[in-house]
Amino acid sequence: MAAVVEPLTMFIVVRKDLAKKLQWPTGSVMSQACHAATAILHITREDENTKEYLSDLDNMHKVVLETKNEGSLEKLAAILTEHQVPYKKWIEQPENIPTALATAPLRSRSPELYMKRSFVRLFRSNSIQYNTAKIMSTAATPEIDITQYNTVTEGKATILFPKKNEVFYNPVQQFNRDMSIAAIRTWSEIYNQEKAERIEKRLAKAKDEESIEKLQKSLDSVKTSNNFVILEALAASGLRSVRYAKEIPRLKQVVCNDIELDAMEAIKRNVKYNGLTEELVKPNHGDAMRVMYDCVGTDNKFDVIDLDPYGSAAPFVDGAVQAVAEGGLLCVTCTDLAILAGSMHPETCFGKYGGMPLKNMFPHEMALRLVLQMLQTSAGRYKRHIVPLASCSIDFYLRVFVRVYTSPKEVKKSASKMAIVYECSGCHAFSTQSLGKISVKDNGGEKHTPATGPSVNSLCENCNSTHHIGGPAWGDKIHDDEFVAKMLQHVKDNESSYGTAKRMIGMLSVIKEEIHVPFYWTLARLCGTLHCNSIPILDLFSAILNAGYQVSAAHAGKQSIKTDAPPPVVWDIMRAWVKKNPVVMNNIPENSPARTLLAKEPTITVDFTRHPKAVSESRSEHLVRYQVNPTANWGPKARAGQKRKTDEQVFE
pLDDT tens for 408-431 read: 999 999 999 999 999 999 999 999
Whether the per-residue pLDDT at 648 is higher than 70: the answer is no
Cα separation, 444 vs 384, in Å, equals: 23
Residue 135, pLDDT score: 31
| Exposure class string for 298-313: b at 16+ Cβ within 10 A, else e | eeebbbbbbbbbbebb
For residue 41, give the H/E element and its range. helix 26-43
**Predicted local distance difference test score (pLDDT) of residue 630:** 57
Cα distance between residue 100 and residue 91, in whole Å: 8
Instruction: Say if strands 157-162 and 87-92 run parallel, antiparallel, or are unpaired.
Output: unpaired
| C-beta separation of 366 from 434 below 8 A | no
Tell whether the model's pLDDT for residue 312 goes beyond 90: yes
The pLDDT confidence band at residue 624, using thresholds 50, 70 and 90, is confident
| Letter string b/e over residues 391-418, b meaning 16 or more CB atoms within 10 A of that residue's CB | bbbbbebbbbbbbbbeeeebbbebbbbb
In this predicted structure, what is the pLDDT of residue 241? 96
Q: What is the pLDDT of residue 627?
A: 63
* pLDDT tens-digit series, residues 469-499: 999 999 999 999 999 999 999 999 999 999 9
Please tell me the least confidently modeled range out of 70-74, 319-323, 374-378.
70-74
- In this model, does residue 636 exceed pLDDT 90? no
Task: Indicate the pLDDT class of residue 529, thresholds 50, 70 and 90.
Answer: very high
Q: Torsion over CA of 461, 462, 468 and 473, rounded to 10 degrees?
A: -80
Distance between CA atoms of residues 363 and 51, nearest Å: 65
pLDDT tens, position by position, 580-593: 999 999 889 999 99
Strand partners, 269: none
Distances (CA, A) of 118 to 79, 85, 533: 7, 13, 76
List the 521-522 sheet strands across, edge first.
521-522, 557-563, 551-554
Q: By the 8 A CB rule, do 518 and 175 touch?
A: no
**What is the second-level CATH architecture of the domain 483-620?**
2-Layer Sandwich (3.30)
pLDDT at 57: 85
Could you give the CA distance from residue 195 to residue 184 in angstroms, rounded to a whole number?
16
pLDDT band at 147 (very low <50, low <70, confident <90, very high): confident
Q: 188: which residues sit within 8 A by CB, 6+ positions away?
A: 228, 248, 249, 250
Same fold: 9-140 with 483-620: no
For the chain, give the mean pLDDT: 87
Compute the chain's Rg from CA coordinates: 30
**CA gap 339, 349 in Å, rounded:** 6
pLDDT band at 123 (very low <50, low <70, confident <90, very high): very low
Mean pLDDT of 233-262: 94
Question: What percentage of the chain exceeds 90 in pLDDT?
Answer: 65
Q: Average pLDDT in the 116-132 region?
A: 36
117 against 88, higher pLDDT: 88
Per-residue model confidence as pLDDT tens digits over 183-209: 999 999 999 999 999 999 998 888 888
φ/ψ of 181, rounded to 5, equals -60, -45
- Residue 514 exposed, middle or buried by CB count within 10 Å (0-12, 13-18, 19+): buried
DSSP 125: T
pLDDT of residue 122: 39
For the cut 50, the answer to whether the pLDDT of residue 620 exceeds it is yes
Query: What is residue 179's predicted lDDT score, i.e. its pLDDT?
Result: 97
Alpha carbons 75 and 115: distance in angstroms, whole number? 11
Where is average pLDDT lowest: 145-154, 160-169, 457-466, 513-522? Answer: 160-169
Ranges of beta strands (E only) in 240-367 are 251-258, 281-285, 302-307, 324-334
Return left, alpha or beta for 200; rule: phi > 0 is left, psi -120 to 50 is alpha, else beta. alpha
Q: Residue 446, Cβ neighbours under 10 Å: how many?
A: 12
| Helix H or strand E encompassing 321 | helix 314-323
Alpha-carbon dihedral angle through residues 430, 434, 435, 438, given to the nearest 10 degrees: -170
Would you say residue 113 has pLDDT above 50? no
Question: Which sign, positive or negative, has the C-alpha torsion 547, 553, 559, 564?
Answer: negative
pLDDT confidence tier of residue 631, bands split at 50, 70 and 90: low
For the chain, domain boundaries: 9-140, 483-620
pLDDT at 218 over 80: yes
Q: Which CATH architecture describes the domain 9-140?
A: 3-Layer(aba) Sandwich (3.40)
d(CA 511, CA 487): 11
The predicted model gives 27-41 an average pLDDT of 91
With 0.85 as the threshold, say if the pTM is over it.
Answer: no
pLDDT of amino acid 24: 85
Pair 523, 535: CB distance under 8 Å? yes
Please give the helix or strand (H or E) that residue 188 lies within, else none: helix 174-205
CA geometry: angle at 241 spanning 238 and 242, to 5°? 85
- pLDDT, one tens digit per residue, over 48-76 is 889 988 988 887 888 888 888 888 888 88
Residue 8: which pLDDT band, with cuts at 50, 70 and 90?
confident
Please list, in sequence order, all residues whose beta carbon lies within 8 angstroms of the beta carbon of residue 155, skipping any fewer than 6 positions away: 177, 178, 181, 243, 246, 247, 497, 498, 499
On the question of pLDDT at 137 being above 50, the answer is no
